[in-house]
Structure 1
Amino acid sequence: MATEVKLVLITGANQGIGFETAKELLLSDIYHVIVGSRDPVKGEEAAKTLQATPGIKGSVSSIQIDVTDDKSVDSAAAQIGSQYGRLDILVNNAGINILTKSPDREALCKILDVNVVGSLSTTEAFLDLLRKSSEKRLVFVSSSMGSIAHAADPTSIYYRPQGTEYRTSKAAVNMMMVMYMARLKDEGFKVFAADPGLCATNLIGDLQSLRQRNAAEPADGGQRVAAVVKGEKDADAGKVLGVYGVCPF
């Protein structure tokens, strides 16, 4: 009997970590990846690029989804429900960062809207479709920068008094992941936070600065997130999983 294809939605997958996660998954023919993108043109372009990449065995499509727009999120859920009847894996990857010289209320509101509220909104919209799957996998892309334990430890490489807004958002994402795990585990869900590590993406709009800090390439981060999606870290469900293993909260 042929293996049933697993349907994966990755938000913000037209570039960066989301794109590379999709590429890694598509090396196997058991995945159909739905590229979620706020800009439908960019999403379609990304899907075409992925499908034309040498070595790709899976299939890919795109869908418009702006995680800060309830109508867009609900429309995407309705479209996937109508087309497929279920969703096996949701990867809440869409995220932003805004660099500030000192903590800024406007920046914090914008970052929380995408990174936290957007992830919750998307998860809630797709829960019923995930419930129809035998996989039921929910992944939040997080960061060790959101670890309170690291932030409070002077010996940690993450002990840096910068990025208050972004780090606060990822700490909230980690808590959200734990709450969903507690809420859904009895229904057979596997819930994780996946930390791709510091990667040279467009997240802060300064690739050179990131590479000077020895940032990994986006493909490395994509492999780390994909490992969680593929079930390679299932023994640590309900935890934040980083390049060095389980991240302390």
Structure 2
Amino acid sequence: MCATKTIALISGANSGIGLAAASGLARNHGYHVIIGSRNADAGKKVAASLVADGYSASSVQLDISSDESITAATGWIEHEFGVLDVLINNAGIMLDTRRNGRSTRELFTESFSTNTTGAACLTEACLPLLRKSESPRVLFVSSRMGSVSETTNKSTMYYSLDYRAYDCSKAALNMLALNYARILEDVGAMVNVVCPGLVKTKLTDNHPYGTSPELGAQRVIELATASKGGPTATFTDKDGVIPW
């Protein structure tokens, strides 16, 4: 059933923006979506719901802070599908407002482990599968708060807020994405960075000014469904280009 479908893996896809992206790709674009979820049962529940509605989905336990989990997940994808067309690095954390006694070193280490290092390890593990695709696409869900240029813009709503670890981890993620745009250039891959904006999710404590996960996933879905030869090495949100 999946042989003629586009295969997409989304990390952190059991809730929030990841769930909205997975649902949109399955329901509106006919993709087979793989729900990557640290909690295996939560991922299975999402996949089962999509399948029950007549769409194509499966799930895999995926903790991007664990090399063993990444190896097992990518090995399963290799066995089941033999290829990966779309990778959406969505899983992320924001700990600056939830320090809970963490030292500065602990705060930065944990933030980078998930937001940057985890995405790097997952993407690296997926490279052989992506290289088998006729039109590989890799998305990194980042944030405008990781823009070095925007950090000096005093008119932004978050200029005076202290999210140092999160900001730095997302700035590093942006650089990581550009490196993979270079690494996968030989196969014509489209590797892009997307800012979903302020969205009502667990990560933002369901911020009252946040938009819906569906709106946050809009640009992610647009780039995940881009035609071969589409944009690469870009940093955008639904409204346009974001300065690096």
TM-score by length of 2: 0.91
Q: Does 1:59 align with 2:56?
A: yes
- Which piece of structure 1 moves more, 94-103 or 10-19? 94-103
Residue equivalent to 2:43: 43
- After TM superposition, give the deviation of residue 232 of structure 1 in Å: 7.2
Match of 1:203 in 2: 203
Match of 2:145 in 1: 145
Task: Please say if residues 4 and 30 of structure 1, whose CA atoms lie closer than 8 Å, have aligned partners that are also in contact.
Answer: no
Aligned with 1:226 (options 197, 221, 224): 221
Structure 1: distance between partners of 2:143 and 2:35: 21
Match of 1:132 in 2: 132
Q: Does 1:155 align with 2:150?
A: no
The alignment partner of 2:203 has SS state of coil
The answer to which of 194-203 and 216-225 deviates more is 216-225
Whole-Å separation in 1 of the counterparts to 2:97 and 2:210: 20
SS in 2 for 1:28: helix
Q: Amino acid of the residue matched to residue 179 of structure 1?
A: N
Distance in 2 between residues matched to 1:14 and 1:160, nearest whole Å:
32
Following superposition, the deviation at residue 20 of structure 1 comes to 0.4
Aligned to 1:99: 96
1:217 positional shift: 1.1
1:19 corresponds to: 19
The 3-state SS of whatever aligns with 2:28 is: coil
| Correspondence for 2:174 | 174
For 1:77 and 1:179, locate their aligned partners in 2 and report how far apart those are by CA, in whole Å: 21
How many residue pairs get aligned? The number is 240
Deviation at 1:155, TM superposition (A): 2.9
* Partners of 2:14 and 2:46 within 8 A in 1: yes
Letter of the structure 1 residue corresponding to residue 202 of structure 2: N
> In structure 2, which of residues 231, 234, 238 is the aligned counterpart of residue 239 of structure 1?
234
- 2: distance between equivalents of 1:77 and 1:34? 11
Unaligned ranges ≥5, structure 1: none
Question: Alpha carbons of 1:51 and 1:14: their partners in 2 closer, same or farther (altered >3 Å)?
Answer: same
The one-character-per-residue Cα deviations of 1:103-124 (angstroms, maximum 9, x if unpaired) are: 8321211111011000000001
The answer on whether the counterparts of 2:190 and 2:230 sit within 8 Å (CA) in structure 1 is no
Cα deviation digits, residues 110-159 of structure 1 (max 9, x gap):
11101100000000101001101101111111111110100112233442
Q: CA deviation at 1:190?
A: 0.8
Distance in 2 between residues matched to 1:50 and 1:198, nearest whole Å: 26
State whether residues 96 and 115 of structure 1, in contact with CA within 8 Å, keep that contact through their aligned partners in structure 2: yes
Matched, 1:123 2:118: no
State the SS of the aligned residue for 2:140.
strand
- CA distance in 1 between partners of 2:98 and 2:84 (Å): 41
Question: Contact 1:94–1:115 at 8 Å: present in 2 too?
Answer: yes
AA paired with 1:151? Answer: T
Q: Is the 8 A contact 1:29 1:59 kept in 2?
A: no
| TM-aligned CA deviation for residue 215 of structure 1 | 1.1
* Seq. identity, %: 38
| Equivalent residues of 1:139, 1:193 under 8 A apart | yes
Residues 101/233 of structure 1: CA separation in 2 closer, same or farther (3 Å cut)? farther
Distance 2:240 2:215 in 1: 15
Structure 1 residue 185 corresponds to structure 2 residue 185: yes
Residue in structure 1 matching 2:211, options 201, 213, 216: 216
**CA apart distance, 1:101:** 8.1
Distance in 2, Cα, partners of 1:101 & 1:47: 30
